Chains A and B, each alone.
Chain A
């Protein structure tokens, strides 16, 4: 049901936890399936320098956050903001149809963590 890449990121998630000196933070919840994703970002000189996350949810949710954190590290903000859930799903080697919301939540949380301060 899951690709080897998804299973790898699920069993060995990258960039788990809070990062030093974050410049952004977001915590999003999918009210339907109950997934919760928390992200910390640090932006410097127009680039996303570092991302850390914590996730509660199914393998797709955890693997999406992990893969996304790999993909966007060091990217110019313009490129990060242009990312689409399809890019993430492709990088994961595909996701079952009922699990694609995991990738959407990860991107949504990342964009929220790059947005205006949320009182962090």
Chain B
């Protein structure tokens, strides 16, 4: 099997499993208690928080709030920040290509009476920082723009946006779920007030994420109970998951640039071979300003889900944003926001590379894609003359 679906999820690194195992069987006490095993669990939690804060460039460990997923961190940021700052305004700015964890949370805010501006993107999926500035209104309290897109890998000018809004009192959140561990992410350099991440996107476990929340920024919790995580996210801490997240982030940050360079080379080789051998094929997303491991395409006359099944039979795991892969029967909101002709949007394919992929695998995958597209085109109706 050739796994090229790393943007969906990744295998947990053996070092991460090792770090987690002790927390299941030995350091299992509830960190909120005062007995010695509890203090040991508390120490493991503190170490993890310190490590994550350090790797994100946060000033204080207390700025890291652990959650049960990237989705929860996104929901917390959108709902929690908007609700906590309601007395200052009722307007939120985001983009049309955010993850559903952001977009659907914004829909919820709208039902509560907030006004939402969803900015368009250009053909590469980039939002114009100037458009963000111009979308400001007297009641604007929050801007949320993702650092890297999950479907097409395009990087957003979050640093420029945060810099342009500095001193305005408008909070800036970024969904960095696809970015953390893969490109440099430093909250101080970005200048954001909040940032979401998810462990399983960088070889950590599923079921654990985190929200960076700048010290002094108010947020209304979504989960109430025992007051864990400074009262921002109640519930007994998932110590194994949190320790796993921290270890995975340490590993991802060590040698990240060399790994990213290798991924870029493999990705460009994959993209080059596929575009070189197939007509009616296009790369989606920005050609350079994109995640190192993300190759995403649209193909004429080869439907996305059919492509996935053809590739699966050849032992290749991939993803699509095309219509037939979801219940709505429409292409993904990201492909629509790029302004692609519908016919092309029906043939989308995402191949996301990871640290274990080899050049041989990439060549095999490119060959398999070329064959699968050719096979589907041999079945497709001819263009009308």
Contacts and interface: CB of A to CB of B under 8 A. Distances in A.
Nearest to A13: B379
Interface stretch (A29-37, A69-77, A85-93, A110-118): A29-37
Interface size range of chain A in the complex: 20 to 34
Contacts of B303: 34-35, 56-58, 61
Given A32-B330, A33-B324, A98-B327, A54 B382 contact: yes
B380 interface: yes
Contacts of A54: 379-382
Contacts of B378: 16
Contacts of B330: 32-33
B342 interface: yes
B261 to A, nearest CB: 37
Interface residues of B, number: 24
A62 interface: yes
A7 interface: yes
A56 B309 contact: no
Contact of B346 (A10, A16, A34, A55): A34
A84 B19 CA distance: 58
**A contact patch SS:** mixed
B190 interface: no
A47 interface: no
A7 B309 contact: yes
A98 to B, nearest CB: 5
A37 B315 CA distance: 28
Nearest to B313: A11
B380 A36 contact: yes
B329 interface: yes
A58 B346 CA distance: 9
Contact of B342 (A34, A55, A99): A34
A98 B305 CA distance: 13
Interface in A24-78: 27, 32-38, 54-62
Interface of A: 2, 7, 10-11, 13, 16, 27, 32-38, 54-62, 98-99, 101
18 contacts: A16-B378, A16-B379, A27-B381, A32-B323, A32-B329, A32-B330, A33-B329, A35-B303, A35-B324, A36-B381, A56-B301, A56-B376, A58-B305, A58-B324, A59-B306, A61-B303, A61-B324, A62-B306
9 A-B pairs closest in CB distance? A58-B324, A33-B329, A38-B381, A56-B380, A34-B346, A54-B381, A58-B305, A33-B323, A98-B327
Given A32-B323, A56-B376, A56-B379, 13 more contacts: A2-B309, A10-B306, A34-B342, A36-B380, A36-B381, A54-B381, A54-B382, A56-B301, A56-B380, A57-B324, A58-B325, A60-B324, A98-B327
